Structure 1
Amino acid sequence: MTEQSSGNDIRFEPLPNSAIVYRALLRNNWINEDTGRVKAQAYFLRKNRNEQGLSVNIANASSPEQCASRFTNCYGVASLDVGRVRELGLDVVPDSPSHANIIGLPYREDDPATTERLARLLAKQSRIVWQP
Structure 2
Amino acid sequence: YTAVQQQAAFNWFVNALNAPDGRPRWVLAAGNLPPADLHLREDLRTRLGWGHVFALQALNDLERRTVLRTEAESRGVVLSDEAMDFILSRFSRDLGSLMQLLHQLDAYALQTRRAITIPLIKSMLENE
Same fold (TM over 0.5): no
Between Structure 1 and Structure 2, the one with more helix by share is 2
- Rg larger for: 2
**Pairwise TM-score range, normalised by the shorter structure:** under 0.3
| TM-score, normalised with respect to structure 2 | 0.22
Between Structure 1 and Structure 2, the one with more strand by share is 1
